Structure 1
Amino acid sequence: MQHALGLDVGGTKCDALLVNEEGEALAWGHYDCLDPATGASNGGSGRDAANICAVLQAALDGRHFDVLHFGSHIEPPAWMRQSSGPLANQRKLTNSAVFEFLGAHTARLIGHPASEQMPALVMNGEEYGISVLAGTGAVVYCRTENGEELRLDGLGPILGDYGSAYQIGRMALQAAAKSGWHPRHQTSLERILPGVVRIMYKKDNLVEFSLSTTERTEIAALARFVDREAEAGDAISRGIIEQAADSIVETIRDASDRLKIADKPCLLAGMGGVAANSRIFWERVCRGALAFAPRFRPALLRHPPVLGFALHALKAFTSIDQAVLRERMIQTSEPLIRLKGKPQTGERHDA
């Protein structure tokens, strides 16, 4: 029997899922930089090779395979045999150690690379549309029916990442530092964030944290606290979330104008921790996008993106209907995810 392994690597987390050729989820591995059970430390990263290998170890669960199909957005080394087109991911995140680890568990490793944004389309049953990735970084990816592709942003925190968790975290730090200047700047972040950085990063104050942090993931991890304060009624926090949403709406507009699809029916699929877990953010994105593209169909990726990568690899060698595989994978993976205790940071909402 052949198997498929999906791997999703992000700035603050990493997931791996093993499925059989029937689409049944067999094992799950998860890393989150805020979860003490995963060995989180100052600056823990989902892109670290050691963390990725630990997640893969959990997903492979001691098995050895004759043939293992591997779906991911990370770039394999030159020696790895591939079965599909070139990777869209331009960041080239992973070194050979990860694939050497996989190679030790299978006689034949077949790669099925895909763009980082692909799961939002595939898990919504579409091959075409707009995928809005708002996580640690931010990317808008478009694929049209005639095969045109466009990827905007993903430029990192200095040049871009408009609408990202990093943008939210950075603005939150600035707002907390400015809170005492005048009553109009007052925000609950002034009280919340110093305690967060003290517990998470062992820093005595926000100034020390801002001058010492070298990982954008550390700042991005603050976004969930900003969203919580926004939901609790803090006006400054809500303004930060809405400003980030407006930033990525501008990227969506740029992409849709360039591909001339603003007047066409088109899936607008959100994914990433910010889009999936912030109701305020996603509703603002939907309102902004529908204002210039009223035929867009907003939807959220309600399941971990790793399912999309596993499905992408799985459909390359099975004749089972993709919708059947998707539903079976969702149903059988949910107990594994709960068992592993994947942290939930908020409810997910469609617009």
Structure 2
Amino acid sequence: MSEHPSKSSGRRPSLTKPPPPAAPRKAQATAKKSQAAAHKLHVVVNKSQTAIQKPQALAQNPQSPEQDLQVPEQEMQDSAPAPAASSIDDDINNIPIASLTLDTPLIPLRKKPPRVPATPFHFLSLPSELRVKIYEYYFEDDGEVLDLSPNNYKSIHKKLGLMRVCRLLHEEATYYYYGTRTFRLFPTYPGKYFKSKRPLLARLKPRQRECLTTLELRLGPGWNAPPKGWAVNDALGLKDCINVHKLKVLVECDPSDGIFKGFRRSEGFYESFSRALLTNVLEALPAVSTVEFDAWSSVKKTGNMMSGLIKVAGETNGVAIRWGPERGWTDADEDEDTAATVAGPDPNRPLESVPIQGFGNSHNIMVVA
């Protein structure tokens, strides 16, 4: 009977795991290929560094022969050991990007300077009529009615920089811009602008107010509690508006209507406030000659609001009353205007294409009324 090998040798049996079996042939071949590829990559990196150092050495010592700077490929392969994969990755990451361009040097990205024409265009050499036409295209996106709002700085402030070019442009652009737009007397934009004590007209300079030709008074916002800034005083600057010949009055609502019952501050409060405000504005404007009334669809021409305002304008000397395009009112009464607008074919009158029975003759002639 054979004894256990551990007993015969006198050694204790090993408590550790047996060694792993040898790697298969495919795994060994794959490992050899990866080592060979890493070695080739290292050789390529050394070649690129040598090619970069070669012109630098020639520039420093032009008398040295080129053979001294060349390294035989066979010696490099024999002397250089196969590096590990991690060291190769570190070497590749440390290569500057300029080293990868051997033929063409790396040029930093530069922005092209702005194109400046060789012969600049002389804008002031144009006739004044053409310059005014250019101002029209330049300011066409600003709107016809200007009010105190937060959008003024974004849309208008930058464009007004044109007026700081020279004195001639300042005179022409100022006269055109302020003379072709309607400026609202009191702000209607909600929030702090609506309650501001300095309306847009008060923020303008006297020279700018002299160029104005049309103002707008919008009544209706804050009908139950008008802001304190809605007052005619010297700070408003109406005495400087010597070229304002038209005042537009737009009424948004009529608190005397029955729909406002129970919400009014008091009977006739806002109507009297509006009449007093219009009276003060007409007295402060030195050259106004036309008052144009207009309103929203809910406002009646015969209501207390409109009738009181029309009476104030009619009692002002030298002021003509006109009607705006919103409602299309005329000098006739509202009932007649409404009847003319709604009027159509008489419902009791038969259509011309329908024959009337009993009124035809023997020749089948159709008789119409």
**Scaled by the length of structure 2, what TM-score is found?**
0.25
Q: Which one has the largest radius of gyration? A: 2
**Scaled by the length of structure 1, what TM-score is found?**
0.26
Return the structure number with greater relative CO, CA threshold 8 A, min gap 6. 1
Which structure has more strand as a fraction of its residues?
Answer: 1
